[in-house]
Amino acid sequence: NAGVMQNPRHLVRRRGQEARLRCSPVKGHSHVYWYRQLPEEGLKFMVYLQKENIIDESGMPKERFSAEFPKEGPSILRIQQVVRGDSAAYFCASSHTQVGLLSGNTIYFGEGSWLTVV
């Protein structure tokens, strides 16, 4: 999938633990997005980040969820005190510029991180 790297691919956490999901965008991409896919549901937008900045977090739950994209290193999606309802596939995506600014620019997705809360 065009070089977006996510890890871990699979993660099991007990209720109340923390989950950290990492995403390295396509080389040269500075725009990162996180989406969540629940069983039988479509992909839902969570957050859009540019280096060191959160641009749009309108899809993020207000509590327990946070995201960052530091100047150096991968983007991190952090879920504190996980509950069973957090079990889902979390996809990271990246683009070269903000989608819509340039015709032909698109968003490339990683393989996903599957979180299971037991």
Binding site for another protein (CB under 8 A): 1-2, 4, 6, 31, 33, 35, 40-45, 48, 55-56, 58-59, 91, 95, 98-100, 103-104, 106-112, 114
Q: Which residues contact 109 (CB under 8 A, 6 or more apart)?
A: 1, 4, 35, 91, 92, 93
Contact 6, 109 (CB under 8 A): no
Nearer to another protein, 68 or 108 (CB): 108
State in angstroms the smallest separation of the CB of 11 from another protein: 14
Would you call 16 exposed, middle or buried from its count of C-beta atoms within 10 A (0-12, 13-18, 19+)? Answer: exposed
Alpha carbon distance 4, 110 (integer Å): 5
For another protein, give the closer residue by CB, 25 or 110.
110
- The nearest distance, CB 53 to another protein, in angstroms, is 12
Nearer Cβ to another protein (17/37): 37
92 bridge partner residues: 34
Q: How far is the CB of 16 from another protein (least distance, A)?
A: 27
